Amino acid sequence: IVYLDGHATTPLAAEVAEAMAPYWTATGNAQSPHTRGQQAAAGIELARVQIANLIGAESQEILFTSGATEANNLVVLGVAEAARKMGLRRNKIIASAIEHRSILAVLEELAARGFRVQLAPVTPQGLVDLPALEQLLDEDTLLVSLMGANNEVGTIQPIGGAAQLAHAKGALIHSDLAQLAGKAPVDVVALDLDYASLSAHKLYGPMGVGAVFVSGIAAIKPRPLVFGGGQERGLRPGTLPTPLIVGFGAAAALADQDMMHVSQIQERLARELLTELAGRQVKVLQNAASAPRLSGSLSLSFPGVDADEIVNRLSSTVCLSTSSACSAGQIASSHVLKAMHISDKDARSVLRIYISKYNTLEDIRFAAAQISTAIGSVVVATGPSTQ
Ligand code: PMP
């Protein structure tokens, strides 16, 4: 089976599994004073340094969460509630129209709690429209949230530019780096970010662990979402999952080492996939083709083809995703493609691919052949009857 769904989750690296292994059995609570507790604490502190190094932060600015969903909630809800508690007059939050659901759903919640929320539009190439963002920014704006890279179309957003605009108006800036960190160089200091969200399972680490970066000089510390034993500076209490955190750290260190090499291979394979499809006369268009994108990320439109049908037909040979989310049996069009002015009809023909560092040339050739065959049979099956 060929796995090309790395935007959903990346495979666990063998080196990461190895780093985690001893921590499953040699158990100790990082808060305990004995040897096992100290070993756990040391593993966690090393991971904090490894993750900080990956994004140019200080280790004390990294706090662990269950993933990027929780990190996004913690920053956006937590900063909004902290500002309200401090009696700040700023109560507007701006995010881009193509954020992950874990930002957009938080904005809905904030709106219900009386905050003002606005979405900045994106260009047809899937990049936030900075002049439009600048227009939305005002003296009332508390926070801007702009993702590092998009999880459907792979576009790398101009977060440094957005940070400048936000700060010029006295607003704070958060970036959901779940898809960017570990895949392209990120320096939170150079980008001037106040907050960031990370997720281990997008960079060949384990599921169920992530982190927030809270800059030591951020004007507002988020208010916690849960209350308890004071871990993670009281911002995110609860016993830390040592094996997962150790794995997250190992994955960050590995990504730091092999990023350039890996992205070159991924880009070569992505080009190969397009060449193979063209060679098989498959009609395909690449979305956001001229925008800066993650290496190995492809959003492909197959005009007239139902992408869901392709994903289903190939489910046991090639793991792919569409760009649309199925909820309660209804196919909801992707908010990302919609924001890029792609029609609902065209959006239904889009396959989302992320070629991981473990994919080979044989994988790509096999996938191209499978996609081509599936499209041929779908088109025949749904084409006009000859009778
Ligand atoms: N943000 C982005 C951009 C993502 O791609 C994802 C995962 N699909 C998340 C947040 C959520 O991350 P997690 O699975 O760690 O909660």
Enumerate helices (H) and strands (E) in the chain, giving the number of each: 12, 15
pLDDT per residue over 245-288, tens digit each? 999 999 999 999 999 999 999 999 999 999 999 999 999 999 99
Query: Which residues is 143 bridged to in the sheet?
Result: 93, 172
User: How high does pLDDT run on average in the chain?
Assistant: 95
Q: Quick one: 320 and 231 in the same domain?
A: no
Kindly give the number of the ligand 1 atom that is closest to the alpha carbon of 7.
5
Number of domains in the chain: 2
Q: Quick one: 178 and 131 in the same domain?
A: yes
Give the helix ranges, DSSP H, for 147-230. Answer: 159-168, 188-191
Q: Which of 260, 278, 326, 332 is catalytic?
A: 326
Are 356 and 3 a contacting pair, CB within 8 Å?
yes
Domain housing 175 = 14-253
| Residue ranges around ligand 1 (CB below 6 Å) | 67-69, 100, 102, 147, 151, 176, 178-179, 199, 210
- What pLDDT is recorded for position 379? 65
> Residue 204 falls within a domain, yes or no?
yes
CA–CA–CA angle 48, 256, 63 (5° rounding): 20
Kindly give the number of the ligand 1 atom that is closest to the alpha carbon of 210.
15
Q: Quick one: 304 and 234 in the same domain?
A: no
CATH number at residue 86: 3.40.640.10
> Residue 384 falls within a domain, yes or no?
no
Residue nearest to atom 10 of ligand 1 (CA): 68
For residue 383, the Cα-to-chain-centroid distance in whole angstroms is 37
Q: Which value, in Å, is the radius of gyration of the alpha carbons in the chain?
A: 22
Residue nearest to atom 7 of ligand 1 (CA): 8
Please count the CA atoms within 13 angstroms of the CA of 302 that sit on its side-chain side: 27
Separation of CA 182 and ligand 1 centre (Å): 14
Percentage of the chain exceeding pLDDT 90:
93
Residue nearest to atom 12 of ligand 1 (CA): 68
pLDDT per residue over 46-105, tens digit each? 999 999 999 999 999 999 999 999 999 999 999 999 999 999 999 999 999 999 999 999
Mutating to test ligand 1, I would choose from 9, 179, 183, 352 the residue with most ligand atoms within 8 A of its C-beta, which is: 179
CATH number at residue 356: 3.90.1150.10
Q: Quick one: 139 and 42 in the same domain?
A: yes
Kindly give the number of the ligand 1 atom that is closest to the alpha carbon of 69.
16
Question: What SS3 class is residue 115?
Answer: coil
Separation of CA 104 and ligand 1 centre (Å): 12
> Residue 348 falls within a domain, yes or no?
yes
Other Cβ atoms less than 10 A from the Cβ of 311: the count is 18
Residue 382: pLDDT band with limits 50, 70, 90: low
Separation of CA 2 and ligand 1 centre (Å): 22
Q: Quick one: 242 and 190 in the same domain?
A: yes
Q: Quick one: 152 and 234 in the same domain?
A: yes
Task: Give the span between the Cα atoms of 135 and 140, in whole angstroms.
Answer: 12
**Which tokens go with 86?**
């401090």
Separation of CA 286 and ligand 1 centre (Å): 23
Domain stop point among 222, 253, 284? 253
Task: Give the span between the Cα atoms of 45 and 245, in whole angstroms.
Answer: 9
Domain stop point among 206, 235, 253? 253
Q: Quick one: 215 and 335 in the same domain?
A: no
Q: Quick one: 20 and 165 in the same domain?
A: yes
Q: Quick one: 60 and 198 in the same domain?
A: yes
> Residue 143 falls within a domain, yes or no?
yes
Is residue 362 over pLDDT 70? Answer: yes
Question: What SS3 class is residue 326?
Answer: strand
- What pLDDT is recorded for position 186? 98
**Which tokens go with 65?**
């969460």
Mutating to test ligand 1, I would choose from 5, 102, 176 the residue with most ligand atoms within 8 A of its C-beta, which is: 102
Separation of CA 177 and ligand 1 centre (Å): 9
Query: pTM of the prediction?
Result: 0.96
> Residue 387 falls within a domain, yes or no?
no
β-strand 297-301 against 350-354: which pairing, if any?
Answer: antiparallel
Other Cβ atoms less than 10 A from the Cβ of 343: the count is 10
> Residue 381 falls within a domain, yes or no?
no
Domain stop point among 198, 224, 253? 253
Separation of CA 100 and ligand 1 centre (Å): 7
Position of tokens 């292994």? 21
Q: Quick one: 319 and 215 in the same domain?
A: no
> Residue 265 falls within a domain, yes or no?
yes
> Which of 213, 192, 211 minimizes the C-alpha distance to 203?
211
Query: Which residues is 370 bridged to in the sheet?
Result: none
> Residue 380 falls within a domain, yes or no?
no
- Provide the residue type at 314 as one letter: L
Tell me whether residue 326 is one of the annotated catalytic residues. yes
